[in-house]
Amino acid sequence: MKIKTEDSGAISMKPSGFTTFYKSFFTVAMLLSVLAGSVRAAEYVVDKTASQVKWVAKKVTGQHNGSISFASGSVVADKNKISGGTFVIDMKTIVDEDMTNEGMKSKLIGHLASDDFFSVAKFPESKMDIKKVTPVSGDEFKFTADLTIKGMTHPVEFNAKVKVTGDLFNAEGVITVNRTLYGIKYGSGSFFQGLGDKMIYDDFTLEFKVAAQKK
């Protein structure tokens, strides 16, 4: 620092060139650090043709299974560290894969789309928002998410295996959903008695495989 005596006798202190350089360098370094942290995580957009969701619903006398498609989706990740994501399911794409009689298959899909089940005309999309991801072991992670079906949102937890290679993001796992939380009570033994072999279990499963590409 340079000390300069003015005519008035007062003493003023002015920063030296080194001090000015140091402050500028520190400011730039901090800015670069913040920018580096913000761009490290990348957004991966779901490839709808390479991703799939398989559903299984069970009843006393057996089960039905099929598939349903993504409408859109993306996940934010830094390598295998996931900080967020949203996935939207197109409820109009639900299909059955276990029945061979086309008439019975069409009847089942129509029933699933009705107000007894998913009210697809009123709620054409379901959505899941990732809230928290915790490492379990290796490439396995525990997910906490908000699942919205028929306009009702409830938390779900599930484990999934995640792999990020270059610009590709892949994840697979199984989600168990209690349908009665979303107002789907048709054939539920939890709400109706005397159903016998017509009872449908409350839980159904969604087995997913997600493939996404870095944006």
Q: What CATH code is carried by the domain that includes residue 82?
A: 2.40.128.110
pTM for this prediction: 0.80
Q: For 122-170, write each residue's pLDDT tens digit.
A: 999 999 999 999 999 999 999 999 999 999 999 999 999 999 998 999 9
Given this model, what pLDDT does residue 23 score?
53
pLDDT at 207 over 60: yes
| Domain co-membership, 31 together with 73 | no
Given this model, what pLDDT does residue 28 score?
46
| Domain co-membership, 33 together with 101 | no
Given this model, what pLDDT does residue 41 score?
85
Q: For 138-147, write each residue's pLDDT tens digit.
A: 999 999 999 9
Burial 67-97 (b: 16+ CB within 10 A, else e): ebbbbebbbbbeebebeebbbbbbbeebebe
The tokens of 170 are what? 């892949």
Q: Report the run of H or E that residue 35 belongs to, with start and end.
A: helix 17-40
- Phi and psi angles of residue 62, each rounded to the nearest 5 degrees, phi first: 155, -145
| Domain co-membership, 191 together with 111 | yes
| Domain co-membership, 18 together with 95 | no
Given this model, what pLDDT does residue 167 score?
95
- Phi and psi angles of residue 148, each rounded to the nearest 5 degrees, phi first: -115, 120
Q: Which domain holds residue 32?
A: 2-39
| Domain co-membership, 34 together with 127 | no
Given this model, what pLDDT does residue 32 score?
46
- Residues 194-208, mean pLDDT to the nearest whole number: 96
Number of structural domains, the chain? 2
| Domain co-membership, 142 together with 84 | yes
- Residues 44-63, mean pLDDT to the nearest whole number: 97
The tokens of 6 are what? 């003015």
Per the prediction, the chain carries an average pLDDT of 88
| Domain co-membership, 177 together with 96 | yes
Residue 3, class by beta-carbon neighbours within 10 Å (0-12 exposed, 13-18 middle, 19+ buried)? Answer: exposed
Instruction: Identify the band that residue 199 occupies on the pLDDT scale cut at 50, 70 and 90.
Output: very high
What SS3 state is found at 32?
Answer: helix
Q: Report the phi/psi class of residue 211: left, alpha or beta, with left for phi > 0 and alpha for psi in -120 to 50.
A: beta
Instruction: Identify the band that residue 109 occupies on the pLDDT scale cut at 50, 70 and 90.
Output: very high
| Domain co-membership, 24 together with 86 | no
| Domain co-membership, 78 together with 184 | yes
Residue 29, class by beta-carbon neighbours within 10 Å (0-12 exposed, 13-18 middle, 19+ buried)? Answer: exposed
Q: Beta strands of the chain (E only): which ranges? A: 2-5, 11-14, 42-46, 52-59, 62-78, 81-96, 125-137, 140-149, 152-165, 168-178, 200-214
pLDDT at 22 over 80: no
| Domain co-membership, 99 together with 17 | no
The tokens of 10 are what? 């007062």
| Domain co-membership, 127 together with 110 | yes
| Domain co-membership, 21 together with 127 | no
The answer to whether the beta carbons of residues 69 and 48 sit under 8 Å apart is yes
Using only the alpha carbons of the chain, give its radius of gyration. 28
